[in-house]
A and B are shown apart, each in its own frame.
Chain A
Amino acid sequence: MRAVKLNGLMFMLGLFAVWELVAQAELINPLVVPPLSKILKIFFELLWSGQIPAQIVVSMKRALLGYFLAAAVFIPLGILMGLYQPVYRVCEVVVEMLRPVPPPVVIPVAMLFFGLGDEMKIFVIFFSCAWPILLNTIDGVRNLDWVLLNTARTFGLSPGKICWQVILPACSPQIITGLRVSLPIMLILVVISEMVGSTDGIGYFILDSQRRFRVAQMYAGMLSLAILGYALNQIFNLLHRRLLAWHWGMMTKME
């Protein structure tokens, strides 16, 4: 197994080496594909100078606000819709009407209302992350076993306590799935909304670099985006492991 993993690493490094040589020899237009070394050099420069981190912070502020707003609204709504069939039926048509709207298409609407500011991006992300969170929460509640609910009742718990102490923890794995699926959606939409209508943020940075033909800088931006995506994933898993240690243990045992 190790040998195979090593081969994968060697293959990748080999690929990078080829890239470097080809670019340096100008076999490919360096304006389109600069040497890897140049990209990395600029990447680290921008990292130390704080320019890239600053843009990332700007983007993440918007993104996370939209994300948590969506969670704060759609998890409770999902619980209500999952528990009470009447609530579900009332909301169902509206949800099914809004769902097929591809999230980026909402950007012009948001721009109409909010201009080019932070609110526009927050709104777009709020809308885009809504559906995975909502649908997964509803699913989680619906899959609750009646034995669990009746256990809570037999111990004399009030409805409020049942919700907080039993329903929420029991559904949390499914809710986490919804939050996990929404994470890349959040990242994609913040980038798109910044490319379409913004003056800052990592998405804007990448597009702007392209417009100014600062190509190495553009690739550096993309690299930082990839790292950001990876980091978000790892942080999410860490939180999953910490907050839902019981579920994490159960999941990893099953494999």
Chain B
Amino acid sequence: MNPVSKFNWPGWLAFSVLLLLWETASRALPGLRVYIPPISQILASLGQLLLSGAITNHLTVSLVRFVEGYLLAAAIAVSLGIILGYFHYLHSLLEMLIELLRPMPSVAIIPVAILTLGLGDSMIVAVTVYACLWPILINTIDGVRNIERTLVDTGRTFGLSAGRILWQIILPGASPYIVTGLRIGLSIALILVTTAEMVAGSKGLGFFILDEERSMNSSNMYAGIILVALLGYMLNRGFVLLERKTMKWRHGMIARGAR
């Protein structure tokens, strides 16, 4: 097997070629320019929006909504998930209800939220919480249920209180699953925030992108999209880094082939 360089030369080359094609085609064909402005123009718009602060307000608004919705969902879903995962009776009681609500796409809740909460921040946070709840909840329940009975019994044999069992055994044991749920919830939160802002917002990145489209400012629209993508990317990276720091034991296990 030939040693392959770590840096993906062909990939970046292909990407650069595509960008170059984009730039030249866009400049050459005036008809195209409205729909697909040259990259340079888009990047210039992005720079201008950031520097002038025109987009900062939208960015912070979206970010705040995202953080609120995500953290609230995480707090509720993890707690609820642990309870339902541990107390099988409660879970089977609610199981049918959960299975009934699951197939409905969370976005369908937006009109209800508008009806009850109007068109503001609380509506957007509420739908974000609702949507993120599911993956985190279900993964947490799975994680808790998958904990070996022997682990819990070991704790009890050592005379650990319920609280300590929770903290020292259940949470670490279920954490791989919980982390998976949290990661899925991360992308869902971003999706919901931007969607809700598009459907019924007056501020925020989602609204901004749609608004610029309506005004045919395609350059700004693409700039906004790039910003959202960057945001999503950085959130994801941040999450992965955080996970790596806190879940070192798991990575070690995986590396050694344990399961």
Contact = CB atoms under 8 A, between A and B. Distances in A.
Contact flag (A, B; Cβ within 8 A)? yes
B229 A184 contact: no
Nearest to A88: B11
B221 A109 contact: yes
A7 interface: yes
Interface of B: 4, 8, 10-15, 18, 35, 89, 92-97, 100-112, 114-116, 187, 190-191, 194-195, 198-199, 206, 209-210, 212-213, 216, 218, 221-222, 225, 228-230, 232-233, 236
A97 B103 CA distance: 30
Interface in A63-119: 85-86, 89-94, 97, 100-109, 111-113
A32 interface: yes
A32 B112 CA distance: 8
Contacts of B4: 85
A30 interface: no
A162 interface: no
A111 B225 CA distance: 14
A7 B199 CA distance: 39
B187 A91 contact: no
B157 to A, nearest CB: 28
A133 interface: no
Given A100-B236, A104-B206, A112-B218, 19 more contacts: A5-B92, A8-B93, A8-B94, A12-B96, A12-B97, A90-B14, A93-B14, A93-B15, A94-B14, A94-B18, A101-B225, A104-B195, A112-B213, A187-B105, A195-B110, A206-B108, A210-B111, A210-B112, A226-B104
A113 B190 contact: no
A44 interface: no
Interface string A179-222: 00000100110011001100000010011011000010011011
B115 A222 contact: no
Which 4 A-B pairs rank lowest in CB-CB distance, beginning with the nearest?
Answer: A229-B103, A210-B111, A226-B104, A93-B11
A200 to B, nearest CB: 16
Interface of A: 4-5, 7-9, 11-12, 15, 32, 85-86, 89-94, 97, 100-109, 111-113, 184, 187-188, 191-192, 195-196, 203, 206-207, 209-210, 215, 218-219, 221-222, 225-230, 233
Nearest to B89: A4
Given A9-B96, A112-B218, A104 B108 contact: no
Nearest to A219: B112
Contacts of A85: 4
Contact of B221 (A108, A188, A210, A230): A108
Nearest to B190: A102
A170 B103 CA distance: 30
A187 to B, nearest CB: 5
17 contacts: A4-B92, A5-B96, A8-B94, A8-B96, A11-B94, A12-B100, A32-B115, A86-B10, A90-B13, A100-B233, A101-B228, A102-B190, A105-B209, A106-B225, A191-B105, A219-B112, A222-B108
A105 B225 contact: yes
Nearest to B228: A105
B111 A209 contact: yes
A195 B195 CA distance: 9
Contacts of A215: 115
B108 to A, nearest CB: 5
B92 A7 contact: yes
Nearest to A218: B111
Contacts of B236: 100
Contact of A226 (B35, B103, B222): B103
